[in-house]
Structure 1
Amino acid sequence: MGGSPMDIGRLGIWDSGLRMGDVGRNAEAAAELEELGYGALWLGGSPGVRHAVPLLEATSRIVVATGILSIWDHEPERVAEEQAGLDEAHPGRFLLGLGASHGALVGDRYARPYSAMIGYLDRLDAAGSPAGHRVLAALGPRMLAAARDRAAGAHPYLVTPEHTRRAREILGTGPLLAPEVKAVLDADPDRARAVARGHLEMYLALPNYTRNLLKLGFGEEDLVGGGSDALIDAVFAWGDPEAVGRRIAEHIDAGADHVTLQVVIPDQDRLPLREWRELAPLVTA
């Protein structure tokens, strides 16, 4: 399929808070992130297309992406209709990120996720949704191949630079590879790892992620108690902005086109604006 025609730069921000809470606060944050130079905003927490609207309206350049929209919760024909509306109002600035989610979150509807995704893409195509304006949340080889053949590329979540290297081998040259990278801006190892474990624990209850981590060489012992030090250090960049920059560089060197940072902080009731400002120099590093 090849890469997206959208310019999302090398560094974006992934955050679920930007689609929840006060709309005005989120719009102001989006405008500041655009001014800071970030290339894309990835809306986490199973967003719908509509969640991109206030952020697009508050900005003029930055791309807004769903990271990711669950195929179980949104009819593809409606998604295509909403996407067309955004493409008309904000040309080249909305990127549709799709994923098959997790059985524990979806419930009895969850069945044959790969086949369900292919069927969903078929219906999107029939409804006129442009393949070059979507990416897939892909971890395994089959979904990565679908991201290569049926979309602009892949948006893997909770991965290491080694996964990025393997994903690039499957995608080949051309398709977009935009991994999510978690960051804790704290140079104290104990504090940083404690914050990371508090965030990671829920993901380690989801088999899609744990299977992928086991394939990357981690053992079962690494997946308990919120994650071993080795696991935390592999999937989180923690320390000062320079340390985060080194991890971004590892993913870029492994084949990523774009890295989307999820800044993890102890206070989940606020947006990490201070941390986003501290990391902004990495946009042009």
Structure 2
Amino acid sequence: MTSDTSDHTARFGPIGIWSSALHRPAPGDTGGVAEAVAELDELGYGTIWVGGSPSVEEAGTVVAATRRITVATGILSVWQHEASAVAEQVAAVERASPGRFVLGLGVSHDALTPRYARPYSTMVAYLDALDAAPEPVPARSRVLAALGPKMLALASDRSVGAHPYLVTPEHTAQARAALGPDALLAPELGVVLDTDADRARTTARAMLSFYLKLPNYTSNLVRLGFTDDDFADGGSARLLDALFALGDTDAVRARVDAHRAAGADHVALQVLTHDQAGGLPRAEWRELAAALALPRAT
């Protein structure tokens, strides 16, 4: 892994974990999430990204269950939560655990949001409302889901930076150029720890097929040189190999290094397993922490 460290890397850590299961625990889970996030804290990860459109309150339970790690929403949909209520909730988390929560914001997708319209203008208005709240959410405590040039520029101007999802190292290089040198760049990276290439691609394809129905992602992939042929049948081998780290921990390390060399301050790993039933891949999280030589908490 690269040894270069930015101020953002110091705050967010070089490696984080992204998981939607952290706010949607598997049926019958009676405390496994709290135990799992406490272990992520101890393993040395820098940030926990609570995926799957969580609320601030849901992410706040992760903050409460940990002691030092940064926790971020990955990503809260601006269509689902009023800005004034969000600002109030963020302030409450900040009072309880100063400096440990970051509000990740996104405009979601037309197919998922009945009111979807004018996403850029909607995000600008939402940020304005957060600024105008009785207890504003400061720019350094919010990050934007951003893929295209306009949203990346907004992320640089109005937040700590960008958290792109489902991207390649080439996109990371483009995003760094759009953001400028000072903004946080924290891409998500899907990981399948399986040395059987066909099986690993099948696991990744099971996740990717959903996102290939969403034009925000496919439009970004087209900008990166992929075509409709790559989107057929859940994703071509070329697309899967570009978007995911497939194989052993050395493959993951190499892909993390590629994102870091392209300008990422932090890489958020989303571990996928062949049984994607909402469980927590704790064994894989431990394996990656050891392989990536993360500094264990003391």
TM-score normalized by structure 2? 0.92
Instruction: State the one-letter code of the partner of 2:200.
Output: A
> Would you say 1:138 and 2:146 are equivalent positions?
yes
Q: Which residue of 2 aligns with 1:235?
A: 243
Query: Which of 24, 33, 37 in structure 1 is aligned with 2:31?
Result: 24
Q: Which residue of 2 aligns with 1:257?
A: 265
The Cα shift of 1:219 comes to 1.2
> Would you say 1:199 and 2:203 are equivalent positions?
no
Instruction: Check whether the contact 2:145–2:165 (CA below 8 A) recurs between aligned residues.
Output: yes
Q: Which residue of 1 aligns with 2:107?
A: 100
The Cα shift of 1:4 comes to 6.0
Q: Which residue of 2 aligns with 1:125?
A: 131
CA spacing shift, 1:6–1:254, aligned 2, 3 Å = closer
Q: Which residue of 2 aligns with 1:42?
A: 49
Q: Which residue of 2 aligns with 1:210?
A: 218
Separation in 2 of the partners of 1:37 and 1:214?
36
Q: Which residue of 1 aligns with 2:98?
A: 91
Separation in 1 of the partners of 2:239 and 2:149?
22
CA spacing shift, 1:267–1:53, aligned 2, 3 Å = same
Aligned length: 283
Deviations 1:103-130 (A, max 9, x none): 00002x0000000000000000111111
Query: Which of 270, 281, 284 in structure 2 is aligned with 1:275?
Result: 284
Instruction: Check whether the contact 1:155–1:180 (CA below 8 A) recurs between aligned residues.
Output: yes
Counterpart mapping for 1:103-114 below 5 A: 103-107=110-114, 109-114=115-120
Give the share of equivalent positions with the same residue, in percent.
59
Separation in 2 of the partners of 1:239 and 1:83?
38
CA spacing shift, 1:5–1:267, aligned 2, 3 Å = closer
Instruction: State the one-letter code of the partner of 2:65.
Output: A
Q: Structure 1 residues 73-82 or 47-56, which shifts more?
A: 47-56
Counterpart mapping for 1:158-237 below 5 A: 158-237=166-245
TM-score normalized by structure 1? 0.97
Instruction: State the one-letter code of the partner of 1:253.
Output: A
Gaps of 5+ in 1: none
Deviations 1:48-76 (A, max 9, x none): 00011221111110011000000000000
Instruction: Check whether the contact 2:146–2:162 (CA below 8 A) recurs between aligned residues.
Output: yes
CA spacing shift, 1:137–1:70, aligned 2, 3 Å = same
Separation in 2 of the partners of 1:53 and 1:156?
22
The Cα shift of 1:6 comes to 7.5
Instruction: Check whether the contact 1:185–1:238 (CA below 8 A) recurs between aligned residues.
Output: yes
Query: Which of 89, 101, 109 in structure 2 is aligned with 1:82?
Result: 89
SS, match of residue 202 in structure 1: helix
Instruction: Check whether the contact 1:4–1:132 (CA below 8 A) recurs between aligned residues.
Output: no
Separation in 2 of the partners of 1:39 and 1:234?
25
Q: Which residue of 2 aligns with 1:60?
A: 67
The Cα shift of 1:84 comes to 0.5
Deviations 1:188-224 (A, max 9, x none): 1110001111110010000000000000001110011
Give the CA RMSD over aligned residues.
Answer: 1.5
Query: Which of 247, 251, 254 in structure 2 is aligned with 1:246?
Result: 254
The Cα shift of 1:276 comes to 0.5
The Cα shift of 1:268 comes to 2.1
SS, match of residue 262 in structure 1: strand
Query: Which of 12, 17, 30 in structure 1 is aligned with 2:16?
Result: 12
Instruction: State the one-letter code of the partner of 2:107.
Output: A
Gaps of 5+ in 2: 1-5
The Cα shift of 1:3 comes to 7.3
